[in-house]
A and B are shown apart, each in its own frame.
Chain A
Amino acid sequence: MRVNFRQADSRSAPAKSAAKRVSKLIRGIGWGMVLAGQALAGEYHLTIAEKRVDIGGEPQTAILADDGLPGPTLHWREGEDVVLHIENRLSEPTSIHWHGIELPYRMDGVPGISFEGIAPGARFSYRFPVKQNGTYWYHGHSGMQEQQGLFGALIIESAQPQPAADRDYVVLLSDWPQADPYRTLARLKKQSDYYNFQKRTVGDFFADIERLGLRETLSDRLAWGEMRMDPTDLADVNGSTYRFLVNGRTPQMAQHFLFKPGERVRLRFINASAMTYFDVRMPGLTMQVIAADGQNLQPLNVNGFRIAVAETYDVIVQPQAERAYSIFAEAMDRSGYAHASLSPRADWLAPVPPPTPRTLLTMADMGGAHAGHAAQGDNHLEHAEHAEHAEYGGHASQAGENLEAAKPAAEHAAHAGHHHAAMPPEIPSYQTLDYRDLRAETATPLGKPDREIELRLTGDMRRYIWSFDDVKYADAEPIRVKLGEVVRFRYVNQTMMNHPIHIHGLWQYLDIGAGAYNPKKHVINVRPGTTAVVDVPADAVGEWAFHCHLLYHMDTGMFRKLIVEAPDRE
């Protein structure tokens, strides 16, 4: 095993010209004394090269930043100007995209959209001011390099003092394939259910008759058969080829994080997978979610959360017992898991918890495919069915939890108000995290949307094509909006799969009925058969990538160019 787990800060802090520093200081005067004594420019070097890695006895070629799987964790500070020199030692072009970062679009790192890419043997320097803080990540945006190991965590320290945690760890989840990603794609194109080894069998048919009766079983089978769909189709690529990693390590490699009982431990979960959604649990601990996609939230306690591809969640745990706790991230389709230990001693490892049962997709998940647009009534995140909430694994207490999660948005809004009164903050608790429970820490009043764009999320399972509005990227015109507009996107998921929708350079304010406290995210997961509504202030000129963050969905067409035009270009 020759994987470098370099977590160290690759910061070097040479002074820039004095003049620049002074001007920066003047501009950054709002940051006050906190920054006055600190360097305002960080310069970083990353080298991208091929390397053989061996995860579980199968040596393979990886494409890595600084030889690390994952690449080094970069630490930036809000308010600094970063300069990132990327050297490409590959025989093919490369790129790095700074995921979730507000920056000039030429620095965004998408070949063919924001720049030319970094040619073999060439160097490219990204330069931009850091305007935000929180947990983010970076990854390759050329070919399938992201799936070949080119990604790492990005932690931006706040300019404002933040409540301190005693420990602060990155928990970066990823999926590692046994085959070359292009081969994986070819297999999906030839047989889209190639990786599904959880299909329903004749045995399941008879078991269902026992459980549900002949009539219901038959009508269920006929309904799915009529659509030529499969309710076990939860993940196109899964544990039959993937190994699931925490910070580049398999469960067997026993990744662990240390703590002392009573300490507040901040875990920064990043899902850097190409294709895998994880259901995360830490049995015996309540996780207090304090941020999503780098943005602070009003804290809420959960026993588990689903993390879509490319999302990040920051949680605080406060383990009291002198024992090892499990950090358990199951692939959504239960075809495997990532596992690590939060432990008082390096030689104590937490046992792997029993898996939660897999659930099948339901007809409600197919709602989009069937009902089309009929079901759209209001502006909230619309759920076809609460049944999907139960997908987390049919806890016995699920019914009660559903009631909790289904509280009307108004009640939540009132609840949110309490936090700003002088009352002691009461942290709501949930069995599992639901988007509808997320509330931004601070209010962002947005203007009324200037226009609405409905975007249907579409797919063709048989030929393995993914698209927006049934048009794949190769055949699509860019979406054009004007600088300063607030654009309301209505994502109507007409497929039976989850899609994590990512817009580069701009924020998506997810409309969950919380008004100015709607959370803002860089990735919005849209569940099967549901509609999600987001407001996007077009506040950065440029050409931005807009896509489903499942790598093979993006590569087969679920992608658009989003052009934010300056007024003079009208």
Chain B
Amino acid sequence: MSNGYRIKAAAIGLLWLVPDCQAQDGHMLFNRFIAERLEYEGNGGLHLAKWDVQDWFGNDEHKLWLKTEGDYSADQGIFGRADLQVLYSRNVDSFWDFQIGARRAFEPERTFDAVIGFQGLAPYFFEVDSALFVTEKGNVLGRLTLSYDLLLSQRLILQPRIELNLAAADLQSRGVKAGVTEFEAGLRLRYEIEREFAPYLGVDYVEEQSLREHQHSVRAVAGFRFWY
């Protein structure tokens, strides 16, 4: 993480140089931290703490975008997955940002990938986060996340969410098998006590396919969404 902070600090410094205009200013800088998921996930034999956190900093056009996600198994005391993406995000359309940068995985292995992707709001209000990861050896992986907010009331919101992880080819070093390496379909019911703070309950169906194994499971989740 310290690497991330250093990069962020440098970018803040750079963005500060953006010419500062007068009162009605289109170059104002904003920051948004959002923990989309901070949750416990488990079933009979599995207990995971998972996070999915993003933070952006910048103006309307240019942003520095950090993303980190992963899971930690409390009973085994190990991280299953943990990575950090540092991206430059350029707005290309009202609803879409083009993102380019790097991903550093810390668990299960230390790997380093280039990242290129699009993030935004698709027609019919689907939140989309998509990325291609190019490994140091030139292998290509992909990730697509889709989610939708269904308002049961103004504060009670049901969120279906799908995440797909893909690989273009087998990747022996990471145990990755070509095709869909991970499929996750979830349903989370959150209550926005404040816009910024919403606890939720839900269920996830997870299917994983690697060179070594294939497994699928249904898990209950409980957590909260938080942003500022």
In the complex, whether B109 has a CB less than 8 A from a CB of chain A is no
In this complex, the interface size class of chain A, counting residues with CB under 8 Å from chain B, is 35 or more
For chain A residues 107-126, which have a beta carbon within 8 Å of chain B? 111-113
Pick the contact of B151: A141, A199, A463, A547 (CB < 8 A): A199
Q: How far is it, in angstroms, between the C-alpha of A547 and the C-alpha of B24 when the chains are bound?
A: 10
Measured CB to CB, the closest approach of chain B to A471, in angstroms, equals 9
In the complex, whether B4 has a CB less than 8 A from a CB of chain A is no
Q: Are A228 and B25 in contact (CB under 8 A)?
A: no
Pick the contact of B123: A226, A461, A547 (CB < 8 A): A226
Measured CB to CB, the closest approach of chain A to B27, in angstroms, equals 5
Q: With A201-B152, A461-B94 in contact, do A190 and B227 touch (Cβ < 8 Å)?
A: yes
In the complex, whether A462 has a CB less than 8 A from a CB of chain B is yes
- When distances are taken between beta carbons in the complex, the residues of chain B under 8 Å from A203 are 152-153
Q: Are B123 and A194 in contact (CB under 8 A)?
A: no
- When distances are taken between beta carbons in the complex, the residues of chain A under 8 Å from B227 are 190
Interface pick from A79-87, A317-325, A371-379, A552-560: A552-560
Q: How far is it, in angstroms, between the C-alpha of A202 and the C-alpha of B227 when the chains are bound?
A: 25
Q: How far is it, in angstroms, between the C-alpha of A191 and the C-alpha of B56 when the chains are bound?
A: 13
Q: With A201-B153, A202-B150, A202-B151 in contact, do A463 and B60 touch (Cβ < 8 Å)?
A: yes
Measured CB to CB, the closest approach of chain A to B73, in angstroms, equals 33
In the complex, whether A380 has a CB less than 8 A from a CB of chain B is no
Q: Are B30 and A111 in contact (CB under 8 A)?
A: no
In the complex, whether B172 has a CB less than 8 A from a CB of chain A is no
In the complex, what residue of chain B is closest to A195 when comparing beta carbons? B195
Q: Which residue, B23, B120, B152, has most C-beta atoms of chain A within 10 A?
A: B23
In the complex, whether A142 has a CB less than 8 A from a CB of chain B is yes
Q: How far is it, in angstroms, between the C-alpha of A225 and the C-alpha of B124 when the chains are bound?
A: 4
In the complex, whether A444 has a CB less than 8 A from a CB of chain B is no
- When distances are taken between beta carbons in the complex, the residues of chain A under 8 Å from B24 are 473-474, 547, 554-555, 557, 559
Q: Are A190 and B123 in contact (CB under 8 A)?
A: no
Q: With A460-B94, A547-B24, A555-B25 in contact, do A190 and B30 touch (Cβ < 8 Å)?
A: yes
Q: How far is it, in angstroms, between the C-alpha of A555 and the C-alpha of B21 when the chains are bound?
A: 11
| Extra 8 A-B pairs, beta carbons < 8 Å, given A187-B195, A474-B21 | A189-B28, A190-B227, A228-B121, A228-B125, A473-B21, A474-B26, A555-B24, A557-B26
| 21 CB < 8 A contacts A-B | A111-B22, A189-B28, A189-B30, A190-B30, A190-B32, A190-B227, A199-B154, A200-B151, A201-B152, A201-B153, A202-B150, A225-B124, A226-B124, A228-B121, A462-B94, A462-B120, A463-B94, A472-B60, A474-B21, A474-B24, A475-B26
| A residues adjacent to B (C-beta < 8 A) | 111-113, 141-143, 185-187, 189-191, 194, 197-203, 222, 225-228, 460-463, 465, 472-475, 547, 554-557, 559
Ranked 8 nearest A-B pairs via Cβ? A474-B26, A112-B22, A225-B124, A472-B26, A559-B24, A201-B151, A190-B32, A197-B154
